[in-house]
Amino acid sequence: MTKKNNQAIIVGAGIAGIATAIRLAVKGYQVTVYEGNTHAGGKLSRFKKGNYSFDAGPSLFTMPQYIDELFLLANKKTENYFKYKKLDEVCRYFWSDGTTLFANANTDFFANEVETKTQSTAAQLRKYLKKSSTIYRITHHVFLEKSLHKIATYLSINTLKSIFNFGKIDAFKTMAQANEALFTDPKMAQYANRFATYNGSNPYQAPATLNVIPHLEQNMGAYFPENGMYSIVQSLVKLAEELGVKFYYNSPVNEICLQHKTVTGVIVKQQFIPANLVISNMDIYFTYTQLLRKQAQPIKILQQQRSSSALIFYWGVKGSFTQLGLHNILFSNDYKAEFDAIFKQKTIAPDATIYINISSKHKPDDAPKGCENWFVMINVPNNTGQNWEALIAQARTNIINKINQQFGINLESLIETENILDPRSIQTNTQSYQGSLYGTSSNSQFAAFLRHANFSSKIKNLYFAGGSVHPGGGIPLSLLSAKIVANLIKPQ
């Protein structure tokens, strides 16, 4: 006999929406997911252009334990659905003066590389990574795995331990201040500062607590899904469907319905669909302004500074380049000017740091033989009405020139196919306000506490998951938001 109070609806089939669906299904809920696009995954998507295939969104895979955990909850073996391998090389870094660093997953190898090729020492890198590990140990139980908006969180032993060690997480220094004080060589400070971009923030404003991020990548490891990043989505959707979750695509939710400040269901295609729980995986800005239009709006949260966005060129490139790996960074010569352009002038610096991801290095069928699929990205401001056509054209020229100078090639003659993703299309495709990739920015020491909670304090049985709410953006944190939501909801 079906329980009358176990109907859960999830708005959006992003990675957090899928993970929440799995967790609720395991708890005994009948879960339905409504997605406006033709496919699941949100920002984590895939497309083909000519003979080239591209993972369109996140390209770095860390903390696979949060994927494994979902299969474990369902009493399934991850390897029967999803396979991945740990990378021996995390990233390659290039500077215009010819300095090149290969960040090996083995810290000893990487430290030796730093000491050999820069003015910084191996001891400085080890100290930096140890500090990153310390920040993670102190903060992850509280800031990443619990709601910061529940009193019970602050009464736990783990929280009390974290508060006792608060001085060790550098909350009142900026990332740049901490990193420039530690590393002798400005290049290594730049390397360390780049991790602010992992949540769309400015290292010259964001707290040094964000130096926790390299622990997730360098200490815990970077991985590659054997069938590409989109296989994360495919495997989790398959698991969810086996658990009875129903997915409806081309089915945007029009409204979240309430009665007496309690969720009653949603409206999809002018049809009311009842539910006892609604979880929005939609950007928090559009959740309120589109789905909860009749309700009081959390103005301060909706007006918070948004994170940066991205400009991505997907190039099918004729040729194979041994000097490049899976993940590559070409640094700008003036990092502060680059971030000032993004966050203060709301434009793109002439010399922008370039990230190049080439999945065909590990998945050869993503490109024809002898060719490569280049995912070329720079960080850019979110969309506030800039002349994007002019900015994109100039950025394209600058990016190609920088790559040509770095590697001594004529890239333009090698580009066979091209697709472009910019802040406008990011907003259109993924309902991310202003095209910001990570919701609000983390450009203050209190940013973690200012993100929207994973539940509504004013509307009963309404919850929120995804990169625009606590604990933040990116695949691991989105998966953690699903875990927090599920832990707030009682089993059926």
Percent of the chain clearing pLDDT 70 (strictly above): 92
pLDDT beyond 90 at 144 = no
d(CA 140, CA 65): 14
pLDDT score of 337: 98
Q: Is 381 exposed, middle or buried, given 0-12, 13-18 or 19+ CB atoms closer than 10 A?
A: buried
Inter-residue contact 43 to 14 (CB < 8 Å): yes
Phi-psi region of 50 (alpha: psi -120 to 50; beta: other; left: phi over 0): left
pLDDT score of 264: 97
Inter-residue contact 107 to 130 (CB < 8 Å): no
pLDDT beyond 70 at 446 = no
For 302-356, the pLDDT digits (tens) are 888 889 999 999 999 999 999 999 999 999 999 999 999 999 999 999 999 999 9
pLDDT beyond 70 at 168 = no
Q: Quick one: pLDDT band at residue 2, thresholds 50, 70, 90?
A: very low
What are the sequence ranges of the domains in the chain?
7-41+227-305+443-488, 114-220
pLDDT beyond 50 at 246 = yes
Average pLDDT over residues 33-60: 96
Average pLDDT over residues 3-22: 92
255 is written with which tokens? 């409204």
pLDDT score of 1: 33
pLDDT score of 472: 85
Strands, DSSP E only, in 269-361? Answer: 271-274, 277-280, 309-318, 327-330, 354-357
Q: Quick one: pLDDT band at residue 28, thresholds 50, 70, 90?
A: very high
Inter-residue contact 58 to 445 (CB < 8 Å): no
pLDDT score of 451: 80
pTM of the model: 0.94
Give CATH for domain 7-41+227-305+443-488. Answer: 3.50.50.60
pLDDT beyond 70 at 4 = no
For 382-398, the pLDDT digits (tens) are 999 999 999 999 999 99
pLDDT score of 448: 53
Are β-strands 30-34 and 246-248 bridged in parallel, bridged antiparallel, or unpaired? parallel
For 103-141, the pLDDT digits (tens) are 999 999 999 999 999 999 999 999 999 999 999 988 877
pLDDT beyond 80 at 158 = no
pLDDT beyond 80 at 143 = no
Inter-residue contact 325 to 361 (CB < 8 Å): yes
